[in-house]
Structure 1
Amino acid sequence: MSDDSNEGRGDAVADFAGRVFGSAVGALDILSIYLGDRLGWYRALAEAGQLSSTELARRTATQERYAREWLEQQAVSGILTVEETDDPDDADAAPVAASDRRFSLPAAHAEVLTDDTSLDYLAPSVRMFAASAAQLPQLLDAYRTGGGVSWQELGADAHESQGDMNRPWFDKRLAPALASVGSLHEVLSRPGAHIADVGCGHGWSTLALARAYPDARVEGFDVDQPSIEAARRHAAEAGLGEHVRFHLAGGEELAAEGRFDAAFVFEAVHDMPRPVEVLAAIRRAVRDDGQVVIMDEAVAERFAPDGDEVERYMYGFSLVVCLPDSLSSPGSVGTGTVMRQSTLEGYAREAGFSGIEELPIEGFASFRFTRLVR
């Protein structure tokens, strides 16, 4: 092999090593963000404006030495700013004690990490990563045996994360998004319209539908009991407990024929072990002149090795959350997070629909809305 070839190979090795190292640094940042989120450190900083490690520990009932290390790491990572109290030009000045350094959370960073009403709120996604990381031994076993790691096994971090990630989008953007599609809005606005939200999770989409269409009856369905309990609690807190109903049931249990004017599945079809059964039940449950709409990840039309960051992100979720959850049910089709439109269309046709139609709703996070055509 020529020297030039060896040099080129060396550059490629160094480049890839640099990429892996950068990813490792990012992974450590994610873990540090999880600590700051769950220990209440970010919220304490956002509320106080500026805190030392002693003050932060006192406000959050945590240990100062851990708080100090975390604050310094966050400053080095560029997440926090630190007040420069040492004067490098004054040789006689006493150095400031490490526990007295004062740290701040910039307003832009506070919105991303603490504002649960912001469309840029990303702290919940970090909780999902932590939940899946805690299951790595079980994931390794599943990958070897063909089993899975269920949603229940992922625990509270995952459950809360899923609801909190999408809540701002449902609260702020779902109503105008649906109203922008005239034919859909017309059905949802029927007097006494009956709407199903299948795979409702913590119920934020269900509540958003109820607010957008106050004359409608809205029912949420989910197979996860803690999520249904949370959804009922959220409905009561929002004063909507009398206007919505939540059921511990899967979509395949929608047995009443022609009961609903419309049905939605928000970011859940790709998780379903038997999506065709669910879509077939939804088809029977929705009136012939009704609407069935699926919101799921806006991945590319087909696989390509040069996928964008959204594709990489969705494949990552699929590896550690969605695919293992789906495969935890015997007989699952194992869709995974990266559900192409061709896959959804195949499920829809097998369930008795004639095809699918992408709705002209853009800019709704990384999701697309698809209407199933009878």
Structure 2
Amino acid sequence: MSQPAYLTGHTYDPDRAQAFLERAAAILDAGAVAVMLSIGHRTGLLATLSRLPPSTSMEIAQAAGLSERYVREWLAVLVTGGIITYDAQHGTYLLPAEHAACLVPDAPLGNLAVYAQHVALMGQVQDQIVERFRTGEGMRYEDYPCFHHVMAEDSGQTVVAQLFGQILPLAPGLVARLERGITVLDAGCGRGEALMALARRYPESRFTGYDLCADAIEDARRAARKAGLHNLRFEARDLTHFDEQERYDLITSFDAIHDQRSPADLVRRLYRALGPGGIYLVQDIGGSAHLENNLNFPNATLLYAISCVHCTPVSLGQGGDGLGTMWGWETAGAMLNDAGFAEVQRHVLPHDPMNVWFVCRKP
């Protein structure tokens, strides 16, 4: 019997093939669990379970204010997926504290269920992405349902929660300047969570947030009004032709540069917008520009997938470079140096191994 066409010219090891089949099947299970974690996060089921003793599906549904039949099916996924334990004798479910430690809001290890939403989001835009594979065209930010909501939750964990204890101290003297009063720009501010936290803490300083997406800016304005913050403003603005000269003492960009149409050009423009002695504080994905260096990088597979489905398409949709999520800390550092910054320091923080932080000073 002749070999199948896909085996022609290849050595076939049945044991290795069987092992990979099992791995592929596990990948499918893991994908299903990721989507259910997203649902559990958005419905509050994970948070509810973390507060309950061993409980029946009806008790869990009632505590969460949800339909028992859907809750029961969701529980079955997470039991078979190894997330929740099940006592068949009593018909009760439990989210172990060790599992809740990385799956619920304010968890000590961070809330990974926030990132599970990216997996669910990929499914929602799959048809459009398949078409882009054929045409090479890009996407718009508004093509992604709830994207800014997910990014705001991400920012809440990696930026806002650590802003005053770990992030601002990376730039010696910056806190004192903020207390005295300086002008600050957040370039690519999204819903403005970080900027609002700064505005609350430093009432003598003045804050501006720019973002391309009008819906995110409207959310930011609404939240700022509700908080009674009068020392900041938000504006929907395409930064492609940003041209403000020596206006700011501090500029920040939190996970925003690699999505831009031309990151290198924007970094140069932001450099010009800083006054003498100004500081540019940048957070971006901390992977390498070289695939072989990312084989053990935290969540590299997820980050490359997000790049394929979101970051690369939205850059291409602006007519941009399409550098993608994993554009690399080497690329970012070179751009910052080329822009003219006299000093560029790179940091990786213990709470956030996925990102890199640059502190850049203008002469």
TM category (shorter chain) comes to 0.7 to 0.9
1:328 and 1:242, CA in 2 relative to 1: closer, same or farther beyond 3 A?
A: same
The answer on 1:148 being equivalent to 2:138 is yes
Give the drift of 1:52.
1.9
1:252 and 1:289, CA in 2 relative to 1: closer, same or farther beyond 3 A?
A: farther
Give the drift of 1:361.
5.0
Q: 2:234 aligns with which of 246, 256, 274?
A: 246
Q: 1:130 aligns with which of 120, 143, 154?
A: 120
Query: 1:115: which partner in 2?
Result: 105
Deviations 1:184-221 (A, max 9, x none): 62674372211111111121221233345443212211
The answer on 1:332 being equivalent to 2:320 is yes
Give the drift of 1:356.
6.3
Which SS does the other structure have where 2:180 is aligned? coil
1:301 and 1:147, CA in 2 relative to 1: closer, same or farther beyond 3 A?
A: closer
Q: Distance in 2 between matches of 1:145 and 1:235?
A: 41
Which SS does the other structure have where 1:215 is aligned? coil
Q: Distance in 2 between matches of 1:340 and 1:356?
A: 19
Which SS does the other structure have where 2:190 is aligned? coil
Give the drift of 1:72.
2.5
1:44 and 1:169, CA in 2 relative to 1: closer, same or farther beyond 3 A?
A: same
Q: Distance in 2 between matches of 1:279 and 1:7?
A: 50
Which SS does the other structure have where 1:304 is aligned? helix
Give, as a single letter, the amino acid of the residue that structure 1 aligns with 2:126: L
Give me the TM-score of the superposition, normalised by structure 2.
0.86
Q: Output aligned runs, 1:286-297, within 5 Å.
A: 286-297=274-285
Deviations 1:120-174 (A, max 9, x none): 1122211122112111010011111111232211111x22111101202323312
Q: CA RMSD in A?
A: 2.8
1:8 and 1:253, CA in 2 relative to 1: closer, same or farther beyond 3 A?
A: closer
Q: Distance in 2 between matches of 1:122 and 1:141?
A: 30
Give, as a single letter, the amino acid of the residue that structure 2 aligns with 1:53: S
Which SS does the other structure have where 2:320 is aligned? coil
Q: Output aligned runs, 1:112-261, within 5 Å.
A: 112-116=102-106, 120-156=110-146, 158-183=147-172, 185=174, 188-189=177-178, 191-237=180-226, 239=227, 241-252=229-240, 254-261=242-249
Query: 1:28: which partner in 2?
Result: 32
**Residue pair 1:34, 1:130 contacting (<8 A) in 2 also:** yes
1:354 and 1:259, CA in 2 relative to 1: closer, same or farther beyond 3 A?
A: closer
Structure 2, unmatched stretches of 5+, are 1-9
Q: Percent identity?
A: 24
Which SS does the other structure have where 1:369 is aligned? strand
Deviations 1:286-342 (A, max 9, x none): 10221112211111253317621423332122112211222122x211110002233
Give, as a single letter, the amino acid of the residue that structure 2 aligns with 1:125: Y
Give, as a single letter, the amino acid of the residue that structure 2 aligns with 1:14: Q
Deviations 1:58-112 (A, max 9, x none): 45454433322222232222222233436xxxxxxxxxxxxxx222222343343
Give, as a single letter, the amino acid of the residue that structure 1 aligns with 2:84: L
Give, as a single letter, the amino acid of the residue that structure 1 aligns with 2:296: D
1:342 and 1:42, CA in 2 relative to 1: closer, same or farther beyond 3 A?
A: closer
Which SS does the other structure have where 1:113 is aligned? coil
Query: 2:303: which partner in 1?
Result: 314
Which SS does the other structure have where 2:282 is aligned? strand
Which SS does the other structure have where 2:292 is aligned? coil
**Residue pair 2:187, 2:251 contacting (<8 A) in 1 also:** yes
Q: Distance in 2 between matches of 1:185 and 1:40?
A: 38
**Residue pair 1:261, 1:289 contacting (<8 A) in 2 also:** yes
Q: Distance in 1 between matches of 2:271 and 2:28?
A: 46
Give the drift of 1:28.
1.0
**Residue pair 1:187, 1:261 contacting (<8 A) in 2 also:** no
Q: Output aligned runs, 1:346-361, within 5 Å.
A: 346-348=334-336, 352-353=339-340, 357-361=344-348
Give the drift of 1:240.
5.3
Which SS does the other structure have where 1:247 is aligned? strand
Question: How many residues get paired?
Answer: 352
Which SS does the other structure have where 1:283 is aligned? helix
The answer on 1:300 being equivalent to 2:288 is yes
Q: Which piece of structure 1 moves more, 214-223 or 183-192?
A: 183-192
**Residue pair 1:45, 1:56 contacting (<8 A) in 2 also:** yes
Query: 1:279: which partner in 2?
Result: 267
Q: Distance in 2 between matches of 1:7 and 1:257?
A: 63
